[in-house]
Amino acid sequence: MNRPVVRPALIALVALAALVAPLALAGPAKSGAKMDIVDTAVAAGDFKTLVTALQAAGLIDTLKGEGPFTVFAPTDEAFARLPPGTVEGLLKNKAKLTEILTFHVVAGKVTASDVMKLSSAKTVSGKTVSIDTSDGVRVGGARVVKADIAASNGVIHVIDTVLIP
């Protein structure tokens, strides 16, 4: 059973989130010194499952890299709506997990105003995700609930559903 491996990582993640939570409460930095995509997600507190999945897939260093990246980030609630056992199963299947997570990332910085001009975007997984702006903004069927969260190496758009390629 692989649970002992995931649990220490989750405990470390929660401890890290507790350390950086005061930064999130202070709001975004006004100067040019911002946190990268991963640190921004950890500080927000609503992406614990996403960050755990990024760790399991070995994508943390990539998303802490220079970028720029655009991440359509599903919340913990979005992951919780997946069928029971799905997240646990994905954490044990690195190839499938990586495919799903990279389907949430677009190379380059794509702001909300940029998204409004698109009907699709090519993800770093190599697959294309649809974009519909006819009633709010939907990416691959997921609703964008918060846009343009700035990070030093890109931008995060919060979505309400996990995208499955």
Q: Where are the domains of the chain?
A: 3-159
pTM for this one? 0.79
Q: What is the model's pLDDT at position 39?
A: 96
In sequence order, the 6+-apart residues with CB closer than 8 A to the CB of 148 are 111, 112, 155, 157
pLDDT tens digits for range 34-86:
899 999 999 999 999 999 999 999 999 999 999 999 999 999 999 999 999 99
Q: Per residue in 104-113, pLDDT tens?
A: 999 999 999 9
For the domain 3-159, what is the CATH superfamily, name and number?
FAS1 domain (2.30.180.10)
- Tell me the C-alpha distance between 66 and 78, whole Å: 27
Buried b / exposed e over 18-48, threshold 16 CB at 10 Å, is: eebeeebeeeeeeeeeebbbbbbbbbbebbb
Query: pLDDT at position 12, please?
Result: 32
What are the backbone angles phi and psi of residue 47, rounded to the nearest 5°? -130, 35
Retrieve residue 148's tokens.
């343009």
pLDDT at 18 over 90: no
pLDDT, tens digit, for every residue of 74-99? 999 999 999 999 999 999 999 999 99
Residue with tokens 């090519």: 122
Cα separation, 64 vs 154, whole angstroms: 10
Average pLDDT, the chain: 84
AA letter at 60: I
